[in-house]
Structure 1
Amino acid sequence: MTESVPDFPDDAVGGVVDPNELATDLVVVTGLSGGGRSTVARALENVGFYVVDNLPQALMLDMAQLAFEAGGAARRTAMVLDVRSRAFSTDLAGAVRALKDRGFLPRVVFVDADDEVLIRRFESVRRSHPLQGDGRLADGIAAERKLLEEAREQADVIIDTSHLNVNQLRRRVEELFAGEDVLRLRITVLSFGFKYGLPPDADYVLDARFLPNPFWVPELRDHTGLEEAVSTYVLDQEGADQFVNTYAGLIGSTAPGFEREGKRYLTVAVGCTGGKHRSVAIAEELTAQLRDMRLSAHASHRDLGRE
């Protein structure tokens, strides 16, 4: 049966897309069951890929075309192939060639592991191998190796996960497919008012209510911590500098560890009573100090304007 080929955009010459114009980053992930495909897929999502799991090989070209037409985030698409799919074919090399013939430049990632490691992994979760049938785990693994033999030979990247834990595998994928900006920890310094409740996504909660409240200063009451008069008043109070400096140092010293452990977003919540004066001024100053430390930080003000 001949595979139908979708029509390509008008700017495709002779049915072949110019890769320089296409700018579509395609990754095909396959490999042995238990080898870590799911972890690879999640890591690719973390670095900005749109991941399609359990995709039949017959639809790879259609998926690539859809990614091209959608543009934006879909231009970075990863397709995960699984032998458990009824539409799985052993002709992965042919499917990849079809993509290349149309101007796409897919990278094939194959995840592998030693038989003994795979057996332990399946036994630890008490699952049978998808190709095991009535036989042993080892029989299923052997059958899958045979099925994927050509795919492994054609892979651009082979990742042996035998001696990698989940975090190590994730870091390996990020090193291969993420730019430096994607790998950086992104810090949100969020001001809020305690009377409206704690932010549920806060990693750190800082309490600025020990500082005098500008609300009780008539000429400052109607202004916010974004304005110089209020900011100066708050930051000139005894203990304010030490408060900001201490937390800036703490965040700066822990940020590399968070990055190593795969955390990509950190929310530092700074609270005062209403989220209008003290917390806003402190959040802005803390953000500025974090940026001076070359950390990726931005300020956000949840309750500003709520009163």
Structure 2
Amino acid sequence: MPTSPAAKHGLAAADAPPPERPDWTIPQDWSRYGPEDHATWKTLFERQSRLLPGRACDAFVQGMRDLPIAADQIPEFDALSEVLMARTGWQVVAVPGLVPDEVFFDHLANRRFPAGQFIRRPDQLDYLEEPDIFHDVFGHVPMLMNPAIADYIQAYGKGGLRAQQLGTLAQLARVYWYTVEFGLMREAGGLRIYGAGIASSLTETRFALDDPSPNRVAFDLERVMATRYRIDDFQETYFVVDSLEAVLDLASIDFAPVYERVWQREELAPGQVLPTDTVISRGTGAYHG
């Protein structure tokens, strides 16, 4: 996950110096994980695995089946990368936490997914401000096995480098947030999860699909780019795509004229519903209210 332009977390914000490597990568050092670390992974893995059938999209389920990822221990990045490279040309690289935007985008543009190599404490099972190995690996990596998502995220990395030059990073970050992190899609006659922020969270999985509070609105690029999001709580609005191919279509868009139009729009609050929206279900707003 990229850092916010206004605030960075972890080593990106700490007084400690950054890692020695300019790309912020570090060894995963798998042998350092202790029994408590593997037990935390097992708890998180098993409860999400019980909850996601019928809720996660087919691509997520298939990706999980095809990867060397299981409940008994934290996965090794080298083993994940070997399978990913053969399928979509991606690899997983270890980083100490959230990294500077330009580092994040460069990794994605070169089909390297930067994953935090630490795992949350047992008392942080339901909320962690900074993405850890469970969020990054369980939530993101299965979708990287899908060619459409694999291509889209690489294109997003390239687009992020360009958005920095244009001063439009905030607008582009909203696209990533409402797709890769918190996206829903139509599938099998209902709504399914493909966003990692939902798929890796017990409470947000239930909230995003079952709770009457949030809005569920059809995805529209310029509308999404104008919409602020919540970084401290459940989302007030979830945007729904018709298919993963629809996400891939975003990779071929020339964003420059889109930015020009979005700059002229008023920014939208996270829970705002417009008369022009295609509303799948209008939320009550009760949770955030």
TM-score scaled by length of structure 1: 0.23
Q: Indicate the structure with greater strand content.
A: 1
